[in-house]
Amino acid sequence: MDRMLVVVFDNETNAYQGKKALQELANEGSIGVYAYAVLVKKADGTATIKQGDDSGPIGTLVGTAFGSLIGILGGPVGVLAGATAGMSVGAGADLSDASLSSDFLDDVTKALKPNKVALVAEIDEEWVTPVDTRMEAIGGSVFRRSVTDVADKIHDEHISAMKADLAQMKAEHAQGRADQKAKLQEKINALDSRIQAQLEKAKLRRDAAATKAKVKAEVQSVKAAAARAKAS
């Protein structure tokens, strides 16, 4: 099952130990890791990404639920200072983009207080015990939530609603007086631009989902090979 994982630690040393443990669990086939970042919450509420996996296919997942979650946890200023290349994400990311519920984010933000450090990752796990056992032994507080497709449904409905508004405006424009048409045209142009932006956003989400599926297949292949080697 695909899950978003946040493990909150008291310091960077423990967070890096948590990252190492996560990689070890992936190497032994207990979990799959699609993307990760170590995020430090500063005293002013902003955040800095100290380490992140932004190379190869995994890095292209930034901008999906993982990237949105990083942005949401980044604080009120709106930019993650010192972010790794390809990992700079605005903190104003839309909650719906993260495909995550508000209660999960509330729990995480309450735990991720100033001067705390979080290991944020998107993973595939069948059992929670391997991760929980390793992280709790290092002093980490574990939060996880399954990634859902709710945001995609909301996003599609939003685009459909905007298209309906656009059609109505065009109908009014065709029947309107000359003095009304200029203002209506401005509104039509603005709404059309918003629709195109949303369609492009949807395309990026689909592309990221396809990449994620490819990475997941690779992870599963590695896990299967490890299991065969262990059995032989």
57-99 per-position pLDDT tens digit: 334 444 467 777 877 787 543 333 333 333 333 334 444 444 5
At CA 210, angle to CA 67 and CA 84, rounded to 5? 30
Q: What angle, rounded to 10 degrees, do the helices at 150-175 and 178-231 form?
A: 160
* Torsion angle, alpha carbons of 23, 26, 30, 31, to 10: 100
> How much is the pLDDT for 105?
83
Write phi, then psi, for 92 (nearest 5 degrees): -85, 20
Contact at 8 Å (CB) between 14 and 142?
no
At CA 205, angle to CA 49 and CA 153, rounded to 5? 120
pLDDT > 50? residue 34: yes
pLDDT > 90? residue 19: yes
> How much is the pLDDT for 133?
93
- How many CA atoms are closer than 13 Å to the CA of 134, on its beta-carbon side? 19
> How much is the pLDDT for 76?
46
> How much is the pLDDT for 152?
61
- pLDDT tens, residue by residue, 168-227: 889 888 887 877 788 889 889 988 998 888 888 778 777 777 776 777 777 667 766 776
Q: What is the mean pLDDT of residues 44-61?
A: 61
Q: Output the average pLDDT for the chain.
A: 77
